[in-house]
Amino acid sequence: MKQGFNNKKYLKMQSKHIQERIAQFDDKLYLEFGGKLFDDYHASRVLPGFEPDSKLQMLMTMKDQAEIVIAICAKDIENNKIRGDLGITYDEDVLRLIKEFQSRGLYVSSVVITQYHHSKMIDRFKTKLKRRQIHVYQHYYIEGYPTNVKAIISDQGFGKNDFIETTKPLVVVTAPGPGSGKMATCLSQLYHEYKHGIKAGYAKYETFPIWNLDVNHPVNLAYEAATADLADVNMIDPFHLQAYEKITVNYNRDVEIFPVLKNIFEEIYGTCPYKSPTDMGVNMAGFAIEDDQACCEASQQEIIRRYFESYTRYVKEQCSIDEVNKQTIIMEKAGISIEDRKCVVAAREKAKITHSFSGAVELADGTMITGKTTNFMGTVSNTVINALKHLAQLPDHEDVISPQAFGPIQDLKTKYLGSVNPRLHIQEVLIALSLSAVHNEEAQKALDVIPQLRGCQAHFTCQLKVEDLSILTQLGLEVTYEADKR
């Protein structure tokens, strides 16, 4: 993939900027981390060169100064809310995050349960945290939050929340997902810190939308497409425009909440250090874009990918047609259509010719490789094997998987696991390819070029099974597919 983003430059600038923000206050900054601290694959897709764990890398450069507080909402624990990308509950993800952070030497000081109320499920979760020697704090529902500032900044508002005891200058507040109470946690801490004689600061670290790109820049439109289910909208920051006569971009929720935040700051400190939502942010990603065209092209592909994702959700009755319509409008804003995804056109053409489900992979050099469903392999398997053979410079007729490798797998499926379909799925094909490579030099060549699939675009004219999609993601392919309308 053509690189458009300088990750090293970004990490250096981002760390420096956060250090400067800490110094603005009494050496105490509560930094709300939006999005993902690691596994940020959306950012790596739309900003080619951005590493999925860039935020974590940045934090690692400041780990001696930083500690992490994880927020989770009580109702999300009780409702077993699921992280769609990982398929695990929010409370399970909190435990996963703790383990991941600690394995990298980062200090997780505590977990705060927001909108807390007593229940057996929440008590069980607290017990799990205490076994891991993680401090647990409780914040409560505040009537009138966030608009009734007088009630919020009182003993019966933030005053009834536990004060989270922290020891580092930088306190990163993160969560398993949106709606967990990160901002409220930060503001509650500012109130309590002020009561303790410390004028702490608050800032927000969101990668998207990128404030110093145009509101309709493909990178920002791709963010809007990624959050179509949340109804987020990119917009000009009117407060920044009024204060500085400069156009910057933010999103509707931050613009809408800013007057309230300003009032809360003024109620606590007597004045607000920020004149706009943009001022609150610390994101420097826009300054690390070095090839705008590469980022535009990558973002356009992401917008189309998100359209297919929403359409699949609609077919499965997981969203309304409004979400699909929004994705269509975003494509129109970007001046693109489905046909601008070359692998979609190639896969559909292959399907017309073969009268079967088909797939296409666009390789890094622009070569288009297609495949179809066969008696031996499913659509995904056949397409990927064809791509590997091309990358390994093997002839099309070359059988890189030996019958001794795939035969036992087919027997296992049909004779012992009750499957009526002997075709091999992608995971089974890769296992068979690995077994064949022991005695087959061509199979080893095909195995060796697997890393070259990373970043390639792919489309399939059939609905993908979760297992196949998971393997394709691990291979680094950027995939779209067409939902089964039946």
Strands (E), 162-302: 170-174, 201-205, 234-236, 249-251
Distance CA 447, CA 442 (A): 9
CA 421, distance to chain mean position in Å, is: 35
Q: Could you tell me if 310 and 327 are in contact, meaning their C-beta atoms sit under 8 angstroms apart?
A: yes
Q: Return the domain boundaries, the chain.
A: 7-215+240-288, 341-481
Query: Going residue by residue through the chain (486 aa), what tens digit of pLDDT does each one get?
Result: 689 999 999 999 999 999 999 998 888 999 999 877 777 889 999 999 999 889 899 999 999 999 999 999 999 999 999 887 677 899 999 999 999 999 999 999 999 999 999 999 999 999 999 999 999 999 999 998 888 999 999 999 999 999 999 999 999 999 998 889 999 999 999 999 999 999 999 999 989 999 999 999 999 999 999 989 887 899 999 999 999 999 999 999 899 989 988 999 999 999 999 999 999 999 999 999 999 999 999 999 999 999 999 999 999 998 999 999 999 999 999 999 999 999 999 999 999 999 999 999 999 999 999 999 988 889 999 999 999 999 999 998 888 888 777 777 777 777 777 776 777 889 989 998 998 998 899 999 999 999 999 999 999 999 998 889 989 989 999 999 998 765
With a threshold of 0.85, does the pTM exceed it?
Answer: yes
Task: Give tens-digit pLDDT for 236-270.
Answer: 999 999 999 999 999 998 999 899 889 999 999 99
Distance CA 326, CA 229 (A): 9
Tally of CA atoms within 13 A in the half-sphere of 413 that contains its CB = 14
Q: Please give the CATH number for the structural domain made up of 341-481.
A: 3.40.140.40
Same CATH topology for 7-215+240-288 and 341-481: the answer is no
Can you name the CATH fold of 7-215+240-288? Answer: dip2346 fold like (3.10.630)
Q: Which residues contact 170 (CB under 8 A, 6 or more apart)?
A: 18, 22, 29, 31, 62, 65, 66, 67
